[in-house]
Amino acid sequence: MSRSTPSLLPLVQSYFRDHLCCVHGVSEHTVRACRDAIRLYFLFLTNHLGRSAARLQLEDIRHETVLAFLQHLERDRGNAPATRNCRLAAIHSFVEHLLRHDISRAEQYRRVLAIPMKRAPLRPPAYFELHEMRTLIAQPPTDTARGLRDLTLLLFLYNTGARMSEALSVKTGDLHLCRPLQVRLHGKGGKDRICPLWPETAQALAALLRRSSGDALNVFRNARGGPLTRDGVAHILTKYLKAATQGTPSLRRRRLTPHMLRHSCAMALLQSGVELTVIRDYLGHASVATSGRYLTSNLDMKRRALESFWKRAGLVDRPCQPWRPSTNILALLNSLQSDPGTACYG
């Protein structure tokens, strides 16, 4: 096929191999998210158009088919608006790549790119309060290698607010367990950041490393010595949340995920008076607006802010004196009641 008439398959390959990985250097998680969204769209096209995936063409990627796919996500798959928007963002990114290499269909691609995101309610981030985190961290036993690993994992996630991928990719060389206590986290887009460690976290990490073999690279490993997986972390967190609910009723009907521990870390920093710009750098947020979401979530901080405003406005509470009616007023009223002729009507 001539260079003037590109086909779908080479552009799909160049999008994932060159555009996402080489040009933008996105994480594996982002690549998987884009792959899943575009794969779902292509599977929908095969059913919608009645032809095999091998026969799909660039002409099929149209405004109408994308809209039908988005309706399918919400109506048939039960996806929430937020998930629908994530799928659409992946398609937009892919179509922008097509536009750069296929100008002949510019108007077709422009109509796809004009499809707007759907407004979705912004839910406040869920998090655990300090006393709830203390209960969770107290669950793992410390007399076994597996219990020590689980305790260290809980402390590490809460201490650093690390994303799942960041925690699982930590190597022994990333740790600095002599003062200053810190760890190097490898974040999104190849951006590294240094995060301080509590003494308790550093002690747990040191104990965990002493139990590990000398050639171990990954800090958090499974029972077979391989790197701990996302499913493994999910199993660990679910197990200790279930154990913690026996003594803490507020934890019932709650979910415990690494991202909730990240939210809990951010909220604890905010409650301690740490500025949003510091929290942004601590968590590796791209914008301070992302960190600002936590301001809308904490009722205790809102209550303290209201109390501070109340005092600065001079509206401090004063002891209330009970009202006691004057005997002269009562005498006047009694006289009016007893002598109707004295009443005056306008």
Instruction: List phi, psi (to 5°) of 190.
Output: 70, 20
Q: What is the DSSP letter of 175?
A: E
Q: Which residue has the tokens 């190097």?
A: 184
Known catalytic residues are 163, 188, 259, 262, 285, 294
Q: Token digits for 46?
A: 């095969």
- Strands lying side by side in the sheet with 192-196: 175-176, 182-186, 192-196
Q: β-strands 182-186, 175-176: how paired?
A: antiparallel
Please state the φ and ψ torsions of residue 194, each to the nearest 5 degrees: -100, 130
Nearest by Cα to 201 from 271, 244, 151: 151
Q: How many CB atoms lie within 10 A of CB 101?
A: 14
- Closest C-alpha among 188, 201, 172 to residue 283: 188
Nearest 5 degrees, angle CA 181-CA 187-CA 189? 150
Our CA dihedral for 111, 73, 290, 15, rounded to 10 degrees, sits at -60
Looking at the DSSP bridge assignments, the partners of residue 186 are 192
In whole angstroms, give the CA distance from residue 204 to residue 224. Answer: 20
